[in-house]
Structure 1
Amino acid sequence: MNDIHEAVALPDASVKRLLHPIDIPEARSLYLRGWWFARLCSLPMAVAIGAIVWTLGGSLLASLAAPVSTFVIAFAASRWHEARAWDFIPRKRQDPDGAGSWRLLAAVLDAAAPLVTAAAVILAVNNTPISTGVVAYAIGSGIGVAVVQVAGLALSVVRKRNSTSIGPRVILLVAVIAASLLVAVFGGAWAQNSPVLAAAGLVTVLLAQSLWWLFVQRNGGRSEGGEQ
């Protein structure tokens, strides 16, 4: 920590031993800016941005470039702001499970993203001729996100995490399952190769999430805002 951060008066450890940036007035604004950026670089939000751009413009290149560029910029900004916010608190007093209400709000916003994605896909399919393979890939991706959330839930239970860690995953899991079912029902008939493309979507999401977890573990293990 630098000299400026060390000058901040923290609550006495006998009153509140573990602290979160939300608890420190000087760190709160930094943390919240990082929190908003983190919403833009969450996996469900990135997929939703791509689906909206695809629906509006019909360009595959734009639908890939928009979420990727948004993710990169938002990820860098969120990590920087959150790191500066956590710098106010000595590591031994940091509470990574704090700010439960903000975690819940993040889960609600992330849960809305798959529903927006489903609406965009259904709207695009019903208004323009789109390959059934695209729909199958989207459904497979949704199943992949659901698998990630189930794995996260199992890990949280094994580690005996509190409800602030488990609750957001349950909310997102329900939303992803609902969105996948909506696309499966209203997204048109499946072709012969649809299962293969759905499997490709599933594998893509699992691979991306595995690389993300590996990155987080190699960079300190804390990715509160970007946790999927």
Structure 2
Amino acid sequence: MANQIALRISKAILIMAGLAVFVLAVMGVVRAAVVIPAVEQGAELPALSKADDAKPILHQPAAETQPETASDFVIKRVLQIDEPFVHGYYKWDDEGVPDGEIIITVDLKAESLSVFKGGYEIGATVIKFGDALKPTPTGVFPITQKNADHVSNLYDVPMPYMMRLTNDGIAIHGADVKWGYGTRGCIGVPTEFARLLFEQVSLGDRVIVTNGKIIDLGDTIAAG
């Protein structure tokens, strides 16, 4: 009799143990059914610490799309100049040129300034520039101010169609451009050329000043 009772108890224990295993297995299947669809196919899962074992695995945040970088500025046309390129001379031809970014290049060694619109040279002129006491700086400068009727507060002289490059007074402006004459660091261009340039440029347009680097057809200016 005692043996029969012990046998029944053992069977009951085995049945309960089996049910517990079955329940755990079902719970595991249910968790897997919840977790797996929440992960995109092929996605890399984050490493989990022991404390994270019980946490649900969620979608990884999508990587932020980086903004496209501005395209480089390619020189598509240079003006053909047949006349002597001498002090006081300029050429301007923007007929048929589409709208585009304005970039001004200045080469102090060549004593010249070029205006490019969307890669097309629309203006070129001989310049005067800084002397040994106040040389014109090289580098890349944005136009920070425009004033058609500016008068220098340092030298009390007119600077028509002034386009400021630096806070210490360096600018492009209209001037009487003659051989042998310099400036106190500014870039002087024929006044009528300055007017045409003044009408084209906007604040922020770049002026690239070099000393011996002429921009030519097919050259690339890096995006700003």
TM-score range, shorter chain: under 0.3
TM-score, L = length of structure 1? 0.23
Structure possessing the higher radius of gyration over alpha carbons: 2
TM-score, L = length of structure 2? 0.23
